[in-house]
Structures are given as structure tokens and as C-alpha cells.
Amino acid sequence: MAAKGKTYKRASGEMIEVVEELVMKYHDRLLDCNIEVLLVYAAKDKYGEPKGPAITLRGKAAYACVRATTLEERVAGRGDAIIWVDGDDCGDWPDSRLRAIMDHELTHLEIVENSKTGMPENDDLGRPKVQSQRSRSVN
């Protein structure tokens, strides 16, 4: 088997439903946002073994990470934010861990507000302007 780099896959409907439920219940400021979830699988060596963690954040392994997308990405059809989840490990997580990790990642997303009016700002596409707060590793 040849070595291969990281691979990615869109998350299942169940994981998307968890994110949507958490947004509705705890993060209603993000209701108008399209949040994508991608599974990340670690790079593999020639024997099929992981070369390292699927996701790293500032040099440390992480269960997940999130960032707001750029205007260019949104124009190209991406969501307003992307959450990357460790695809190698998430299948073993109990529902409570998945919910806690996703909830944590959602706390890093903010809607940009107009400094004078306090109203949410929109980008050139009429989508909510989203920004990322600095992430911290969850594990």
C-alpha cells in the first residue's frame, strides 16, 4: 500500500442534525448560518497506519476545530463556517462527547455586528458575516 495524505469526507446527516440542534438550543445567533461539517482522516504510512493525528491545533492533537469561511469560499458555494472533526476517532465517541465537542466548536463562531447600530452585518452575498474566535484544543 502506498502512503497517502489526509483525506476528507462530508459528515453524515446525524452529525449535521446534532449541530443544527445545538444551534437552535444554545447558539441561536447562528441560526441564519450554514455550518458545514467535514470528517478528517489522518495521513497514513505505507502500512496503512496513521502518521499522526488527523487534526492538530497549534502543534497539539485536537478532536475538532472550526473557522469562518472567507467571502471567496462563500461565493464558490461553501457554507459560512466549517467544523473539521477527527474522522478516525469520532465513531467511538458517545453521543454526549460528540455534543460537547460540537457545542464547544460553535462557541468559537461570532456574528459580526455593526459597531454603531449593534445590528448583525451581512457580507456582499447578503449572508451573515461570521468570524472565528481563537480556538483551543478540546482534548
Instruction: Indicate whether 55 pLDDT > 90.
Output: yes
Q: How confident is the model at residue 1 (pLDDT cuts 50, 70, 90)?
A: low
Instruction: Indicate whether 139 pLDDT > 70.
Output: no
Close Cβ partners of 7 (under 8 Å, ≥ 6 residues apart): 40, 41
Are 71 and 105 spatial neighbours (Cβ–Cβ below 8 Å)?
no
Q: Is 79 helix (H, G, I), strand (E, B) or coil?
A: coil
Give dist(CA 113, CA 122) in Å, integer: 9
Query: What is the number of other CB atoms lying within 10 angstroms of the CB of residue 113?
Result: 13
pTM: 0.91
Instruction: Indicate whether 138 pLDDT > 80.
Output: no
Locate 93 and state its grid cell. Answer: 465517541
